[in-house]
Structure 1
Amino acid sequence: MKANYCLHAILVCLGMLANSQALSNEKLNHLRPLHSHHEKGKEGQVLQRSKRGWVWNQFFVIEEYTGPDPVLVGRLHSDIDSGDGNIKYILSGEGAGTIFVIDDKSGNIHATKTLDREERAQYTLMAQAVDRDTNRPLEPPSEFIVKVQDINDNPPEFLHENYHANVPERSNVGTSVIQVTASDADDPTYGNSAKLVYSILEGQPYFSVEAQTGIIRTALPNMDREAKEEYHVVIQAKDMGGHMGGLSGTTKVTITLTDVNDNPPKFPQSVYQMSVSEAAVPGEEVGRLKAKDPDIGENGLVTYNIIDGDGMELFEISTDYETQEGVVKLKKPVDFETKKAYSLKVEAANVHIDPKFISNGPFKDTVTVKIAVEDADEPPMFLAPSYIHEVQENAAAGTIVGRVHAKDPDAAGSPIRYSIDRHTDLDRYFSIGQEDGFIKTTKPLDREETAWLNISVFATEFHNRHQEAKVPVAIRVIDVNDNAPKFAAPYEGFICESDQTKPVSNQPIVSISAEDKDDTANGPRFLFSLPPEIVHNPNFTVRDNRDNTAGVYVKRGGFSRQKQDLYLLPIVISDGGIPPMSSTNTLTIKVCGCDVNGALLSCNAEAYVLNAGLSTGALVAILACIVILLVIVVLFVTLRRQKKEPLIVFEEEDVRENIITYDDEGGGEEDTEAFDIATLQNPDGINGFIPRKDIKPEYQYMPRPGLRPAPNSVDVDDFINTRIQEADNDPTAPPYDSIQIYGYEGRGSVAGSLSSLESATTDSDLDYDYLQNWGPRFKKLADLYGSKDTFDDDS
């Protein structure tokens, strides 16, 4: 406290000295009080000029003064002040009356409060001298400034409490890392309170800082990120030019060394041991290896390659960029029996290389990879991936087609058994020797049915039936000349009938060709000819065109349909096979009628007969007459029938009665003679009256004595007459009765009656008026078969 008070006292003294010095340097006319001078103007007018009479200059006050008494800022004094107390000093402006007070008699100005220059550096005030009694201004108002004198009361402050910076590893000494900046709130224009000096407190000897700028630089060469990646540096800023008594501030700077590719990849071991089964398939992983690179990011990326070794064709290597491992994979199948081990030389190199560090050596490393092949139980292996055999068609069963051969690739050499795939029906054509693999036919083959047969043969280990292999076998059926040629189509020829004098045409009546089911090797050319026995045929001849076609020509004229309208010409067709095959084909040639231009009109003999006697107009007239006569006859028969026999009544209510059904169910077991009329008789009614079952009579009548029984003969005429008489003399039958059911089935029938009308009641609500004409006829006809014979109108 005493030291602070002494410091302020010294500063006050310095301020007073500065004020006194300023007063000594002030012009005299500025120090004298103002008074009047009378001068004459151009026109004799007296002018008055006023002069200032204040005694002061720019004032200073020390900031942060904390003494017991107010600080004397300065004194206002006018040279007209004689010291008698008649002059009154007045202070106005910024802080007047609150911060600054004036003694109105002496003009001394004091600061009543502690001032802070960082809050306000100066104050502008107005001073005036007035008459104490009258307040008449003795001096015009005059403005002056009170400056707050700075002291070193603010330490330096950095812009950030913590800084972060990066610098590449292996950087040269003096490489700029980062610049830190501090500020001081003190007045930079007064003294050294705001003059800062930077220094490093922590971080040596790796880094240094420039005292004036605050730039941090590297101080050691070849700093290695892999050895130490992060550094913590403390920087100090001190004012007063770094001298003793100055204030200071600090900040922390975290400096990270960024990676550069300054390390090559290295394998941790010189040899890697791996193994692979001979049963492994291409693409299967064999093993992994890794070269370590302490660099990070893209500088640590490693790629792997096989650069040498006896397994370069069988193995490959790729890079797993997630784990930075080299993945060794099988490229081609390996065989334990062929070779049991392989050696590879693998190289690991960086993907990205920094040219600055190439001089340090190659950024790659190599390692030896030894791969052992493990034995596995492998399936049999055929000596060929597929087989093609041939066999002639029609070869006898048991003919050898060919052979397949497989072996066990394992060292044990298990015996092999062969079989044909049973999932197809082709095994019925072939068989195979289980031990030797010979394929034989089981039946003759027809090339024309199937030219190629494809089978599959399995080879299975005898000691392990789960180990098997499959091979396709294609069998070609070789053609033999076993099919004779024949017509390519059903040919038919036509010739016009003509007289003897008409010249024979040079054009063929038909052109023919042939086809052969055999291969072209057994019939590339066909020969056409007539059979030897008709080679001198007087009517037709065959000419071979030597292009597998032939033409049939007419040798004479004068063909007539009346003599012969159809000719059958045999033609022999032979192929060129060994031995040749031939067949005889029949060509049909019709004789037809033609017009004058040779166009066909008709090839029927009947048409010729008609055309010979009548012209076309006459035939048309005859046909028209026949049609008219037929129409007249049909109309006549129809009208006559409608007039005599109005069988059908078209009223709606009578249509239902027009269907009459005769339900004859036969004579039962006694009906052995189909045409014995005696079986139609009712034995029960021969000698007596037969009651009717279709109606219930009101009175019972005895049979008439005059009627004789129906004879048991086959005379149809007598039988019918008898039945008619019985029907005419039957008093129980209405004349319009048409309901007759023949219910007699003969004696001894175990089936009984099948009629559905046996249980019918005699009451009938049917209207029989429309049967007035037909009723008696049906009645007579029904009586021919006895009382049980009834025609069912419902049927």
Structure 2
Amino acid sequence: MDRRSVCVLMVLWAAAHLGSPADGFRALRRTTGGRKGSPGLTGQDANGVPLRRAKRGWMWNQFFLLEEYTGTDMQYVGKLHSDSDRGDGSVKYVLTGEGAGTLFKIDENSGDIHATKRLDREEKAFYILHAKAVDRQTNEALEGESEFIIKIHDINDNAPRFTRDPYSARVPEMSDIGTSVIQVTAIDADDATYGNSAKVVYSILQGQPYFSVDPETGLIKTALSGMDREVKENYLVVIQAKDMAGQMGGLSGTATVSVTLADVNDNPPRFTKTLYEFRVPESRELGGSVGVIRAVDADIGQNAEMDYRIIGSDGPGMFDIVSNRSTQDGVIVLRKPLDFEKKRQYSLRVQVENVHINPRFYKMGPFRDEASVRITVEDVDEPPLFERPSYVMEVREDAGRNAIIGSVSASDPDDKRSLVRYSIDRRTDMDRVFDIHAGNGSVYLLRELDREENAWHNISVIASEFNNPRLISRAPVYIRVLDVNDNAPTFATNYETFVCENAKANQRIQTVSATDPDEPIGGHRFIFSLAPEAAGKANFSVRDNKDNTAWILTRRNGYSSLQRSVHHVPVVISDGEIPTLSSTSTLTVRVCTCDREGNMKLCNPEALTARAGLSTGALVAILLCVIILLMIVVLFAALRRQRKKEPLIISKEDVRDNVVSYNDEGGGEEDTQAFDIGTLRNPEAIEDGKQRRDIVPETFYPPVRRPALPPSRDNNGDVRDFISQRLQDNDSDPTAPPYDSLATYAYEGNGSVAESLSSLESATTEGDQDYNYLSEWGPRFKKLADMYGGDDSDS
């Protein structure tokens, strides 16, 4: 035993005999020479160097204090004393550290330490404090500061607590003894290193004899074999945890454990009946349900899943069983049609078996069961039944009306054997080509047939019972129309053939073929020949190639388009059937000019017209239509122009005289586009290069210069001279139009920046206009302005 352990034991012994740990330390200090100046203990370190303990005047290292003190006075911890204390009150003891001044208080005169509150070791197990002795007057330390520990002695004041409450666990049913279920754990807050206050022992208070618990580990196990979930599924187990190693006076806690037995497949399925009976009408559709059989299984979940199957039947393939996974039922379904008249009852042997088999329990017996099923077929009034699902008939296209082409047959499958009536579904024969005898089912024609129009006819025949017409059935009838040679062959297409003027004899100009709507069994065999009536004077010949084609050949050298631009070659085409039918097709050959290689260069217009397929009358009609349309367009344009512009001459006087009208107001400076006003200013002016605007001359003529007329002596001589000059110009103008010399000036112009200065505006105002501002020609031109509406400002 080392020195420290010896010191601790001596302190504890002293405390036990002297009443407090402090007294034990003081006694220990006296026994070991702990006074100041006394010789100390010596020793050596690991290197052999002598050790010497420094002497102190006072020492301690720890005090002990019981937790949960219940006394009325403060609990005494211990006493501090220094050798420097002479008892005259000059020494003051000071305490610092954890809890100093609050949990622990020291008497500064005597050095006694007390605990002021109840302490709990589970909250804090020890406290570290510092103590020193100082001079009361100078407050100087008499001893060096020392550290000591106050440890809280544990008492058994905490009961064990389980980590969970309640617990839940599952264990398979039928488990062997000792199968682990769950482990529980309890924790005690007391000091596990001191005494037995924290040593927990487990025991079972409820749950015997089914379960047991390990007292040290808390592991719960099964204690009984053969626990059956179907008998009892849930168990409640109560476990106790007690400290002090289970001794008297220990504290305890409990927890509940809910144990559920998990299902295993230890039960076979069982039918609820040994014999199942069902009745089903013979009209039940395929795939329809006949009946439901049910088996029960005490297990649950996938352990209760079952499969049904038929293991024996007197109607193989008639029925089947489908397992319903949601309800675990077996549904018997129909796989073949039922017939009351053929078989009225069926017997089945069915079996049910678990899907998931547990080999551990298979030794208890097969996990399956068997039962019998009896199915009775009920009679139903059924519609007539045709002997065949469909019929195919053939008829020649030359068959006459009311000709019978075939028959259908249906009978009542019921025992009463009702008579059957036949009819045609008119929705399939809207043209009413066929009909049927209501009593015997013979199909006949209502009108003649044409194979080339329709080679097949698909109709539907209805059979109904006389006693119950609502019960009907249908059968399709496919009628094929057989071909008869009733169509003559013709050209396969419209041939456009030409012959060159420089053609040689026996030269091929066209290859022709034929077509025939008929369809002979061996295929077509066409024969081509030239019509007999054209054989003597024909310019062309026909050569049959024996392959349903023929060549058109020239019979002479050279053809003239001037003599004859178009030739017609009649070709006879026979089909070679019995009876033989033939037709004459005319081939039109036009004569064209060709080059040396035989390429067409030019053809007669008549031939071109014939090629285009238009006659002369058709071309004339088209030309007339075009002319009429043009006239309508011109008339429409003229009417629009007439509505837009007022007539320039509104006077009803005869305008056949040589009159030039100037009733245009003018557009100011831009009015020069209408007429040359310079002539009025100077009658002797010459219009160089001036051309008419109303026509486009074919030939430009040089302007003609004429001498000016001598002025007249009367007052109106200048006006007369001007008019005469204009008349002469118009009469001698080679570009004038072929109508009277009526010159119109219908161009108004676009207006002038200075606005209009026309005298027409003055005519609308009251009073006479003052023309004194005019020149010496004023009175004459005033009269002219009044007559023609001229603009005197321009003159």
- Aligned partners of 1:465 and 1:578: how far apart in 2? 49
Single out whichever of 244-253 and 303-312 deviates more from structure 2: 303-312
- Aligned partners of 1:588 and 1:277: how far apart in 2? 78
Q: Which amino acid aligns with 1:92?
A: L
Report Cα offsets for 1:614-636 as digits up to 9, x if no partner.
Answer: xxxxxxxxxxxxxxxxxxxxxxx
Q: Aligned pair 1:407/2:404, yes or no?
A: no
- Aligned partners of 1:551 and 1:252: how far apart in 2? 116
1:529 matched to which residue of 2? 529
SS at match of 2:191: coil
Q: Aligned pair 1:328/2:332, yes or no?
A: yes
2:463 matched to which residue of 1? 459
Report the alpha carbon displacement of residue 315 of structure 1 after superposing the two structures with TM. Answer: 3.2
- Aligned partners of 1:650 and 1:72: how far apart in 2? 147
- Aligned partners of 1:85 and 1:97: how far apart in 2? 25
Equivalent of 2:175, from 165, 171, 175?
A: 171
Q: Aligned pair 1:148/2:145, yes or no?
A: no
- Aligned partners of 1:509 and 1:302: how far apart in 2? 90
Query: 1:729-740 maps to which residues of 2 (within 5 A)?
Result: none
Report the alpha carbon displacement of residue 413 of structure 1 after superposing the two structures with TM. Answer: 1.9
Report the alpha carbon displacement of residue 571 of structure 1 after superposing the two structures with TM. Answer: 3.9
**Aligned CA distance change for structure 1 residues 186 and 560 (closer, same or farther; 3 Å):** closer
**Aligned CA distance change for structure 1 residues 458 and 144 (closer, same or farther; 3 Å):** same
SS at match of 2:299: coil
Q: Aligned pair 1:33/2:39, yes or no?
A: no
2:424 matched to which residue of 1? 420
Report the alpha carbon displacement of residue 459 of structure 1 after superposing the two structures with TM. Answer: 0.5
Report Cα offsets for 1:424-454 as digits up to 9, x if no partner.
Answer: 5556322211111011122332222221122
Equivalent of 1:437, from 432, 438, 441?
A: 441
Query: 1:533-612 maps to which residues of 2 (within 5 A)?
Result: 540-557=540-557, 570-587=570-587
Q: Aligned pair 1:244/2:248, yes or no?
A: yes
Report the alpha carbon displacement of residue 481 of structure 1 after superposing the two structures with TM. Answer: 1.8
Report the alpha carbon displacement of residue 98 of structure 1 after superposing the two structures with TM. Answer: 6.2
**Aligned CA distance change for structure 1 residues 317 and 25 (closer, same or farther; 3 Å):** farther
Q: Which amino acid aligns with 2:158?
A: N
Retained in 1: the 8 A contact 2:436–2:443? yes
Equivalent of 1:216, from 220, 224, 246?
A: 220
**Normalization by structure 2: what TM-score?**
0.64
Query: 1:247-646 maps to which residues of 2 (within 5 A)?
Result: 247-311=251-315, 313-425=317-429, 428-489=432-493, 505-521=505-521, 524-530=524-530, 540-557=540-557, 570-587=570-587
- Aligned partners of 2:25 and 2:14: how far apart in 1? 16
SS at match of 2:123: coil
SS at match of 2:521: helix
**Normalization by structure 1: what TM-score?**
0.64
Q: Which amino acid aligns with 2:552?
A: V
Equivalent of 1:92, from 67, 92, 95?
A: 95
Q: Which amino acid aligns with 2:391?
A: Y
Q: Report sequence identity in percent.
A: 52
Retained in 2: the 8 A contact 1:574–1:581? yes
Retained in 1: the 8 A contact 2:242–2:250? yes
**Aligned CA distance change for structure 1 residues 513 and 26 (closer, same or farther; 3 Å):** same
Retained in 1: the 8 A contact 2:20–2:78? no
Report the alpha carbon displacement of residue 209 of structure 1 after superposing the two structures with TM. Answer: 1.3
Retained in 1: the 8 A contact 2:131–2:147? yes
Report the alpha carbon displacement of residue 545 of structure 1 after superposing the two structures with TM. Answer: 0.8
2:736 matched to which residue of 1? none
Report the alpha carbon displacement of residue 334 of structure 1 after superposing the two structures with TM. Answer: 2.1
SS at match of 2:64: strand
Retained in 2: the 8 A contact 1:426–1:455? no
SS at match of 2:473: strand
CA RMSD of aligned residues (A): 4.4
Report the alpha carbon displacement of residue 180 of structure 1 after superposing the two structures with TM. Answer: 1.7
SS at match of 1:428: coil
Retained in 1: the 8 A contact 2:20–2:77? no
SS at match of 1:384: coil
Retained in 1: the 8 A contact 2:505–2:557? no
2:738 matched to which residue of 1? none
Equivalent of 2:67, from 43, 63, 67?
A: 63
**Aligned CA distance change for structure 1 residues 246 and 526 (closer, same or farther; 3 Å):** same
1:720 matched to which residue of 2? none
- Aligned partners of 2:562 and 2:380: how far apart in 1? 93
Single out whichever of 165-174 and 544-553 deviates more from structure 2: 165-174
**Aligned CA distance change for structure 1 residues 578 and 656 (closer, same or farther; 3 Å):** farther
Retained in 1: the 8 A contact 2:177–2:225? yes
Report Cα offsets for 1:480-512 as digits up to 9, x if no partner.
Answer: 2222333334557655678xxxx9523234433
Q: Which amino acid aligns with 2:575?
A: D
- Aligned partners of 1:490 and 1:159: how far apart in 2? 109
**Aligned CA distance change for structure 1 residues 458 and 28 (closer, same or farther; 3 Å):** same
**Aligned CA distance change for structure 1 residues 495 and 162 (closer, same or farther; 3 Å):** closer
SS at match of 1:653: coil
Single out whichever of 151-160 and 553-562 deviates more from structure 2: 553-562
Q: Which amino acid aligns with 2:35?
A: P
Report the alpha carbon displacement of residue 567 of structure 1 after superposing the two structures with TM. Answer: 6.2
Report the alpha carbon displacement of residue 164 of structure 1 after superposing the two structures with TM. Answer: 1.9
- Aligned partners of 1:304 and 1:419: how far apart in 2? 48
**Aligned CA distance change for structure 1 residues 89 and 151 (closer, same or farther; 3 Å):** farther
2:701 matched to which residue of 1? none
Report the alpha carbon displacement of residue 476 of structure 1 after superposing the two structures with TM. Answer: 0.8
Report Cα offsets for 1:198-227 as digits up to 9, x if no partner.
Answer: 111111122211111112222222433232
SS at match of 2:270: coil
SS at match of 1:299: helix
- Aligned partners of 1:436 and 1:289: how far apart in 2? 48
1:689 matched to which residue of 2? none
Q: Which amino acid aligns with 1:653?
A: I
